[in-house]
Structure 1
């Protein structure tokens, strides 16, 4: 029996370090209540940035397959548009930062479904898929926590 491939240390360590900006925003919002709006906007911006990165990953997967269909590219653009929309409604005063954070968190938590739909590149590598689930789940949960903290009076 062939052992399952393991995620190498650099991607795991750097990926985990990618959670630090959101941890910093949550910490700031908890311990400095007057900075909650700033923490929400910065944390929302970071979540939107990561969503855009994930969409770029899907775009590249479709390109590597020379996929001629429209929907993989439309799906790949969706995370960037969700992030942009969430920031736009906050900066435009249409919705409070906590509402945008919830939308961003849900998009992050749902993003592994896009991996499944967009292509087989991660399907065959269980260790990488687990890392992806852990990081998206971690960032999504931290973003939800930030929404809860920032949504308090």
Structure 2
């Protein structure tokens, strides 16, 4: 299969549109956080946390699916990497469950983890386990969601 010169133009339109739309819930949480309405604060932080944790877990599931689709070509590290996001999301819930300082530090940790997923994504492309346009899609999504989550955490 021939690669187009520009990975940006190779992103399937539905993947681009739905991926970008996936940033909207976190942007809404950020706007609610920055609005200054105290009655919106807890919901904005809790929903921002939940969405970040869900997407982080989703990415792990996506990596598992790519590993499974690759069959014997999938490196063992990929299955391990695929489980880590869900464990990190769960660990970020522990302070809340124990009544400790939450959600600020947990949101910041989730945001950093979302940005760090780009390391796995880059390796997937390098190992030809993800399409050549993958990073053109994943980079703005991971940085956008990760940075927004961190900002929500800083205001929590």
Q: Which residue of structure 2 lines up, in the alignment, with residue 8 of structure 1?
A: 12
Q: Which residue of 38, 56, 62 maps to 2:61? A: 56
Query: Does 2:26 correspond to 1:18?
Result: no
Secondary structure in 2 aligned to 1:66? Answer: helix
Q: CA RMSD in A?
A: 2.0
Query: Does 2:142 correspond to 1:141?
Result: no
Gaps in structure 1 of 5+ consecutive residues: none
Q: TM-score, normalised to structure 2's length? A: 0.85
Q: TM-score, normalised to structure 1's length? A: 0.86
CA contact (8 A) 2:30 2:148 kept: yes
Q: Which residue of 130, 147, 151 maps to 2:136? A: 130
Q: Which residue of structure 2 lines up, in the alignment, with residue 85 of structure 1?
A: 91
Secondary structure in 1 aligned to 2:5? Answer: coil
Q: Which residue of structure 2 lines up, in the alignment, with residue 103 of structure 1?
A: 109
Paired residues, number: 148
Q: Which residue of structure 1 lines up, in the alignment, with residue 38 of structure 2?
A: 33
Q: Show CA shifts across 1:102-148 (max 9, x none).
A: 000000010011123455223x51x3311111101100011011112
